Amino acid sequence: MTVFFILFCICVFLSCVQVGLHVRAIRGGRASLKADHVWLRVRHTLAAALGQHKVRERWWGYAHVIIVYAFIVFLFATVELLIQSVVPTFDIGDVVGLKAAGIAHLIQTYFAYMTLVAVVILGVRRLVRRHTLRSTWEAWVILGLIALIMLTHLGVMVAVLSNGGEGAWFGRYMPIEAYFARDLSSYALPDGTVVFAPGVDHRAYLLYMLCAALHIVCVSVFLVLIPRGKHLHILFAFANLFFEHRVYDDAGNPIDGAEPVDMAAFEASLEEAAEKDLPEEEWPALGASRVCELPSRMLLNSFSCTQCQRCTDACPMVAAKLEGCEGPMATEIRLRAMCARADAKLLEDAPLTAERELWACTQCGACERACAVGNKHTPRIIELRRALQYREMHPKKLNEIFRHIERAGNPWGYAKADRNVWQSCLSDALPEDAQLPKQTQKIFVFAGCMGAYDRASRRTLQDMVMFLRRNGYEVCASEREICCGEVLQAVGNEAGFDACKKANMAEFGKHPHDLILTICPHCAQVLRERYGSEKEPLCAMHFLEFMAELWRTGRLRMRDAVNSGHYVAHVPCGLGKKSYWAREVVSLVRALGVDVPEDVSQAHCCGGGGGQYFLETGRDIARMRAKELDSFGKAEVATACPFCAQMISSEFGVMGRKHVETVDLVALLVEHAEII
């Protein structure tokens, strides 16, 4: 048996060498791994890794959960066999007691049977979905090794029960092993232990030796395969979950999104390069055009990918069958292969992401919501877009939007003077019978471009302001507000976004406030994640998030509910997939009487995010979503995003379903709810 222990040690060494190479590749990226709020990160890691809540969303996910826990359970059984391979007289019962050892054997045996069933389920699933599910020889080998490890443990248990001894009391709880053990004669050592003496020519001893040796061999082969295939996530997933969120604010809320760019430092580096007269290829640039320019967190993502295809299944580009769109998993696989060369180019020759897919991404967050190991795909898309935009390789249609925002402060080039038309409601007289409970919060209303210029959204915005004023809130706004820049950062124009951010931050500073409210999820998200500092981000919320928090704390009630058979909700991605208050928002919408028939974290987007509203490349996705909503048979679609409303309503018109209208959830809420 000693030779098998040596084999195991060699395999551990080879595995460590390969893992070390992967770690070096990850560290070759741009430094981005932050370990702030360690306890929050540890708690999140343990909850995600041990709870496996995303994996359990589908029935066959429980098979994965069983195998995950089997790894933990059989870690102890493997250690025991390894010790016995060099110290034959070792008995775990002498260390922890015979009863504790017997209980451990029982747990391991029951887990072995459950794991064998799980292996069969996953194997059958791979066969049934062989045309749509990416399957490799390595996956089948791993399943086979897991099954063999379980079978060898059962063989060891048969040998132990056949040998008898005072430690075999648990045999009555293992009827199958006890049945096979009856055919093997027992052999008891003089000292009464249950470990077989070397050199004894006995069937039980031979069975034990064969199963123990095969168990160690299987584990050794498993260790060699892990760093070379998809199962590398077994080693890297914990680190990936620990660093999943880019940073936490002081309140303990995670802040995600792409790594922010310090434009002042970047401009200083450009000046330095000009002074040194560096060649063009050595000048600093925005975004990532080579592997080494990607944040190390993204490289860690590629090594942690389980290749389960959950992200691709959730991707609206794939669901809408957009040409040339393979989905996020294919990109992760290519990136991992590219990590072998730090200078590998991401945009040329064989690009990391096809151009069509890169510019069609709606950044809805469905892939990130689906990933069980915490991979973030949207930041990678933005990094690549930054690189293309900085090199002026972006779609030319964006140039017009850039000019409009720079000159007029909005993407359409509308007159600046018209932006403040909605603000008449700030001074409108309140009804004489209005009750004005004094509220402690002073609210700054950020209209957003849609709220300021779109007529329907403007009415909704004014209704929201009047609702707040009627309920005693002090409301203020800026007359010099411009676009929040969300579309600019989504398409990679960091310079333009930085200009919008500075202008708006200056206005925020002129108007003391406790909270920023908006009716646009895009504005709320970018204000929360990209404005302010990482440690002290702006306190910005969508109005539905604000009301959902009041609903959760019992400070909001419904005067009456809408007709539940009349409305179906399309919850925007910014409120259903990316919001801290997603559950509360859904609870509030249902309390309002609006039907929410889907799991909003998995529902498809409208196709307008990530700049697609302006690029007009998300129409196929919008049509798919409109058909899904139409299938519920409701007269009106209630949403809480001006972009969603326009994308969906326009597709209803194309489909000839003009009688199906869209309504804003904010307007419904201010009509039927009241603050107490």
pLDDT higher than threshold 60 for residue 19: yes
First to last CA, the chain: 74
- CA distances 386 to 104, 273, 294, 390, 578, Å, are 55, 20, 11, 6, 22
Ramachandran region of residue 97, left (φ > 0), alpha (ψ -120 to 50) or beta? left
- CA distances 183 to 187, 450, 608, Å, are 13, 80, 69
Binned at pLDDT 50, 70 and 90, residue 35 comes out as: confident
Contact indicator for 255, 34 with CB cutoff of 8 Å: no
Distance (Å, whole) CA 572 – CA 586? 11
Q: Given this model, what pLDDT does residue 200 score?
A: 46
- Please choose, from the candidates 632, 567, 634, 564, the residue with its C-alpha nearest in 3D space to the C-alpha of residue 603: 632
* Number of other CB atoms surrounding residue 448 within 10 Å: 26
The stretch 399-420 carries a mean pLDDT of 94
Q: What is the pTM of this model?
A: 0.88
Binned at pLDDT 50, 70 and 90, residue 190 comes out as: very low
Helix (H) / strand (E) element for 550: namely: helix 543-552
Contact indicator for 49, 238 with CB cutoff of 8 Å: yes
pLDDT higher than threshold 50 for residue 602: yes
Q: Given this model, what pLDDT does residue 114 score?
A: 94
Binned at pLDDT 50, 70 and 90, residue 88 comes out as: confident
Beta strand pairing call for 515-518 and 540-542: parallel
Distance (Å, whole) CA 66 – CA 150? 12
Among 89-103, 215-229, 623-637, the least confident range: 89-103
Secondary structure in 3-state letters for 55-66: HHHCCCHHHHHH
Binned at pLDDT 50, 70 and 90, residue 60 comes out as: confident
Beta strand ranges found along 546-621 (DSSP E): 556-558, 567-570
Binned at pLDDT 50, 70 and 90, residue 438 comes out as: low
Give per-residue pLDDT as tens, 560-593: 877 767 899 999 999 999 888 899 999 999 999 9
For the chain, give the number of residues: 676
pLDDT higher than threshold 70 for residue 655: yes
Contact indicator for 211, 156 with CB cutoff of 8 Å: yes
Q: Given this model, what pLDDT does residue 36 score?
A: 83
The stretch 271-277 carries a mean pLDDT of 88
Give me 504's structure tokens. Answer: 């708006």
Q: Which residues contact 3 (CB under 8 A, 6 or more apart)?
A: none
The stretch 218-228 carries a mean pLDDT of 90
* Number of other CB atoms surrounding residue 372 within 10 Å: 23
DSSP state of 37: S
* Number of other CB atoms surrounding residue 92 within 10 Å: 21
Per domain, the residue ranges of the chain are: 2-26+48-228, 398-675
Give me 379's structure tokens. Answer: 């930041």
Give per-residue pLDDT as tens, 299-356: 999 999 988 888 999 999 999 999 888 899 999 999 998 887 777 788 876 788 888 8
Helix, strand counts (H, E) of the chain: 30, 11
Helix (H, G, I), strand (E, B) or coil at 616: coil
Between 372 and 432, the more confident residue is: 372
Residue type, 608: G
Residue type, 145: L
Between 332 and 230, the more confident residue is: 332
Distance (Å, whole) CA 142 – CA 382? 35
Q: What percentage of the chain has pLDDT greater than the value 90?
A: 50
Quick one: 314 exposed, middle or buried, by C-beta within 10 A (0-12, 13-18, 19+)?
A: buried
- Please choose, from the candidates 284, 265, 264, the residue with its C-alpha nearest in 3D space to the C-alpha of residue 274: 284
pLDDT higher than threshold 60 for residue 185: no
Beta bridge partners of 288: none
Q: Given this model, what pLDDT does residue 433 score?
A: 60
Q: Given this model, what pLDDT does residue 131 score?
A: 67
The stretch 486-490 carries a mean pLDDT of 95
The stretch 135-143 carries a mean pLDDT of 83
